[in-house]
Structure formats: structure tokens, C-alpha cells
A and B are shown apart, each in its own frame.
Chain A
Amino acid sequence: MTNENLIHYIHSIADNSLILGQRLSELCGHGPTLETDIAMTNIALDLFGQTRSYFQYAAELSNEDLTEDDIAFLRKERDYKNVLLVEQPNTDFAYIIVRQYFFDVYHYLLLKQLENSKNVNLQNIAKKSLKEVAYHRRFSGDWLKRLGDGTEESHERVQKAINDLWVYTDELFHMNEDDKIVANAGFGVDNSSLKDEYYQIISDLIKQATLEVPEIQYFQKGGKKGIHTEHMGYILSEMQYMQLAYPNMKW
């Protein structure tokens, strides 16, 4: 395993948090209620905090003179390795909650394993993030149950969101070459090992929410190879704006 492999692995984990955080931060001031607005912005901040820890470490590992900001803001679209799920738009509150829950359960299972990484830095980041993610998962799961078992309209909308976003779940468990090398070295996680438990957990909750588990067997993929949906360009143009307009600017 080279440093390069490890850096790519860190990018692929952190890019999920970064892009989902960016999506959630679009809701700042636009949440359906004051309380949910604050809750979702809090989740965005947690995810950005985690992203910083990963990118600070990736910058340290790099031979080039990089900062966390360079990694977060100055890569090209193809170099972002987040899964397609997290870049999906904030269509309505049901989509936001389903996207969040589908990611949170995966994120939780991933960090649980990453806690056992042979790499101390990854171990520590996982340990610190796990508490936050346990809360994210509770928040999105609680909401999913209430939307499913709520009014006729909320039931219908959340079922639609589940059906539409289901096709992005399988990619969470894909492994690119770097992922495999880093997992084999005991630093990373073998994502495919999380899959059965993941589908068990989300299917149970979907049923509990009086909703139906989709039987769709065709899945979308591409993000982990840098091939994104049409939404990604818009996300990046907004997210990268400050660093491109004011190079090296700092808070």
C-alpha cells in the first residue's frame, strides 16, 4: 500500500461527508421549520468537521504542499469520489430525510469498522465521528417513521423518495482499486461486508414506518469512479466559488 492509495481512500470517505454536508447547508435558512432547519444545519456542521479531520490528515500524507482547503475546494469534478446518493438534490423534505437515512446507516456501520483500523489517525476520526453519526441516524430514522406513518401525503411522498433513491444504495458498498488495497492492508474497511446488515436495518425500519421496501434490482453507480450525475457541477460551482474567486482566502 502506498501513501497515494491511502490518500485516495481518505478522499473517498471524506467526499461523502463533504458533499452531503454541502447539500444540507443549502437548507440553512430554508428548513421546513426553525427546529428542523437547525437540526439539519447541525448535521452539516458535524459532517464538515469530520471532513476537515480527514483532509488535514490527507494533506499531511501528501508530498505536495497542500492544505485541507486545497483538497476540499480545488479538485476537478472527476477527482471527487463521493457516491451518487449524497449529491442528489433537496427535492422535498421526504427526499432529504430518506437520503440522510440511507447514508447515515451506511456511515454508522462503516465507522464502527473503521474504529478497528490499524491506522491510528483513522481510528481516532472514526471514534470521534461515531457519536455524531449515531445521532444523525436517530434523527433521520425518527423522521422516516413519522413521515411514513404520518398523513396520507407524507406517506406518499416518502414512499416516492424511497423508490427514487433506492437505486443509489448499492454503490455505497462498491470498492474501487484503492479501497481494496487499503482494506487488505487493514487500514480501511471492506464495504461489501456491511451490505447484508445494512439492507436488514433499513428494510426493518421502512416496514416499521408502514412503507414498502422497493424490489428494484437495477442500481446506479459512477460516483466512486468520479463519474457524477448532472447535479455535481452545480454543487461544485457553488462550493468552490470562494476559493476560486479569492485564491488562498482563509476564514
Chain B
Amino acid sequence: MKKNWPLWEVFVRSKNGLEHRHFGSLHAPDAEMAINNARDVYTRRNEGVSIWVVESKNIKASNPEHNGEMFEPAADKAYRHPTFYELPDDVEHM
């Protein structure tokens, strides 16, 4: 399917004050149409207040072969993990 339109990743801000989050991906001939399509596919029922789109090919992804060195820190250094704090109830969205 070489005639396929490029793939776009869609990020939607659900509410003012929240960050944009990845909602999914879709095909579109250009950025403007990608926003139109994203509106139709993802935000037609009040799901969002802002949309970002980025062409998927512009995303550089980490290599799964490097997962070990990237994501598996030494398990015996518990003091590195910020797990010894108690979050007050009023802090949202952490």
C-alpha cells in the first residue's frame, strides 16, 4: 500500500491545565487534515480542548535491544527511587 497517506500520532489535552496525552494514530495527507481527522476520530464527544499531531516518522524511538541498559536500574539502590514521601491528598495529577 505505497499510496497510503502518512501516519500521524495524535495528542489530546482533555482539560485545560492537563498535559496533552497520546490518544492514538491515524492516516492523513497533511497536518491540517490530520487535525480534522483527529477531531472526527477522537474528540467528537467533548474529549478534548486541544489537539497536537506529529508525523509518526518524526518520532525517534528507543531500541528494544537496549532495554536492559535503558530501563533496568540496579535493584539494590532503593534510595534512588522517590518512594519514601507521602503525597498530600491535595496534590493532584502526580
Interface residue ranges, A against B (CB under 8 Å): 33-36, 38-39, 42, 135, 138-139, 142-143, 146
The 9 closest A-B pairs by CB, nearest first: A35-B37, A39-B40, A38-B40, A42-B40, A35-B26, A38-B41, A139-B36, A42-B44, A35-B27
Q: Which residue of A lies closest to B26 (CB)?
A: A35
Which residues on the A side are within 8 Å of B33 (C-beta)? 142-143, 146
Which residues on the A side are within 8 Å of B28 (C-beta)? 35
The verdict on B5 contacting chain A, using a C-beta distance below 8 Å, is yes
Q: Which residue of A lies closest to B41 (CB)?
A: A38
Which residues on the B side are within 8 Å of A38 (C-beta)? 37, 40-41
Interface of A is mostly: helix
Scoring A35, A135, A143, A146 by chain B CB atoms within 10 A of each residue's CB, the highest score goes to A35
* Bound CA–CA A142/B30 (angstroms): 11
The verdict on B32 contacting chain A, using a C-beta distance below 8 Å, is yes
Name the distance in Å between A50's Cβ and chain B's nearest Cβ: 15
Considering the complex, which residues of chain B in the window 11-57 have a beta carbon less than 8 Å from any beta carbon of chain A?
26-30, 32-33, 36-37, 39-41, 44
* Bound CA–CA A42/B28 (angstroms): 17
Given contacts A35-B26, A42-B44, A142-B32, 11 further A-B contacts (CB under 8 A): A33-B27, A34-B27, A35-B28, A35-B37, A35-B40, A35-B41, A38-B37, A38-B40, A39-B37, A142-B33, A146-B29
In the bound complex, do residue B5 and residue A39 qualify as a contact, i.e. CB atoms below 8 Å apart? no
In the bound complex, do residue A39 and residue B29 qualify as a contact, i.e. CB atoms below 8 Å apart? no
Scoring B27, B29, B33, B40 by chain A CB atoms within 10 A of each residue's CB, the highest score goes to B40
Which residues on the A side are within 8 Å of B26 (C-beta)? 34-35
